[in-house]
Structure 1
Amino acid sequence: MPGKPTHISFSLQFYDMFIDCLKDIIELAKSEILNDGSRAIAPVLT
């Protein structure tokens, strides 16, 4: 777009991608923690 510095929009695009990746990583970590936790807790509960 004319009149706008392109590096700013590129940075925003990169930032959005970074946030999406971060969310995926957090979701993965959460499910991993839940799986490990349930494996650790299950013997105690039964």
Structure 2
Amino acid sequence: MKEGIGLGSVIAFIISYRKWHSILWALLHGCFGWWYVLYYVFAYAK
């Protein structure tokens, strides 16, 4: 599961950087990806 979360964050970072050409936006999107995954794990995984 850790590999999937890390891979998802890296993919979000790369896509965001290519789209907006900004490291700041790419970092924000990578963090939002982590937050969404953590929310999903705590809210729905039982």
**Given the two structures, how large is their TM-score scaled by the length of structure 2?**
0.50
Equivalent residues in 2 for 1:15-26, closer than 5 Å:
16=21, 19-26=22-29
Count residues in correspondence: 27
Question: What runs of 5+ residues in structure 1 fail to find an aligned partner?
Answer: 1-14
Q: Aligned partners of 1:41, 1:23: CA distance in 2, in Å? A: 27
**Given the two structures, how large is their TM-score scaled by the length of structure 1?**
0.50
**RMSD (Å), alpha carbons:** 1.8
Partner of residue 39 from structure 2, selected from 33, 36, 40: 36
Q: Aligned partners of 2:33, 2:23: CA distance in 1, in Å? A: 15
Question: What runs of 5+ residues in structure 2 fail to find an aligned partner?
Answer: 1-19
Structure with larger Rg: 1
Cα drift, residue 42 of structure 1:
1.3
